Structure formats: C-alpha cells, structure tokens
Amino acid sequence: MIEKDELYSLVPHRTKMFLLSRVSRYNLKEFSLEAEYDIAEDCVFYDHELGGVPAWAGFEFIAQAISALVGLWRRERGEGVKLGFIMSVSSMKIGLPLFRAGNTVKIRVKKISQIDMVYSFEGSVFLEGRTILDGKITVLDVDEEKMQAYQKEYNSIG
C-alpha cells in the first residue's frame, strides 16, 4: 500500500488537483496499477450545485493513476518524476452521473501499447464494485529539456 504522502514523490500534481488517496497494488511487469480516491468537497471538480463530482472527471482519476504507475516505474529505474500530457480520451463509457462526497472510488489502469514516448492505457473507475467509467487514454511522456524550453518560451509571451 502506498499512501498519499509517498504518492507526492511519484505524481507532479499538487493541492486540489491531486486526485489519488492511495495505491493498493501495482505490477511493473504487467505495467498495471490499482488506486483509490476518496471523494471530498475540496476536489477541484466538486460541483456544489450538483452535490458531487461529475463522473466524467473520472478520466482525470485514470490519468493520475497512470502518472503514479509511470512514477513507480521511473523510481525503479532511478529516474525522477516527469510531466505527461493527455493526448486523447476515447471509448469512454460512463454509468453514473456523479460521485458524492464520502464515496471511495477504485481506479485500475493497464498499459496496452507504447510507441516511443506515447503510451495507451485501458482504465476503469469502480464504485462499490460496479464499473462507473471505462475507456482508453493515450498520454505523451514529456522530455524534460523540451518541457523546460517550452515553459521558458510560454513564460516569455505576454
């Protein structure tokens, strides 16, 4: 079990945008991971008018579980955390309108393909044993030097 404090060393997100509570299991040979997130009103996606987090936000739960998995893989190799970007979300199926504060969701991810720095994953979000959201997410693992050059260029605009 990997708790939230340790997850901060694996995932670049912070504060309200950090959407994982713990990792319950992972397998670097299969490149798979299972995590949990405790839904709370301080979640960046929490909508007070709706009284919960819209279920479509589950794609970000999946993306952060992927980030944790890649972070574990990098740590195993002696490398640091890198940023990644979501390139696409596809075949997403949602079976519930929202998650309520107090719900704990399970998130499962598994790599299905890789071409250079582009990874595709299957991901699912479960609530009380029921699949609420599943689909595919393709992410780009960002080269640190290129990212720093991009940030420098972005910060100089304006």
Q: Give per-residue pLDDT as tens, 3-34.
A: 878 887 878 766 677 899 999 999 999 999 99
Q: Where are the alpha helices (DSSP H) in the chain?
A: 4-7, 58-76, 144-156
Q: In 21-43, which positions are buried (b, 16+ CB within 10 angstroms) versus exposed (e)? A: bbbeebeeeebbbbbbbebeeeb
CATH architecture of 2-156: Roll (3.10)
| pLDDT average, residue stretch 134-156 | 77
Q: For 92-118, how does the pLDDT look when each residue is reduced to its tens digit (9 = 90+)?
A: 999 999 999 999 999 999 999 999 889
Report whether pLDDT(90) > 80: yes
Helix (H, G, I), strand (E, B) or coil at 70: helix
Model pTM score: 0.87
Residue 124 CB-density burial (10 A; 0-12 exposed, 13-18 middle, 19+ buried): buried
| Pair type for strands 53-54 and 98-99 | antiparallel
- Rounded to an integer, the average pLDDT of 55-71 is 94
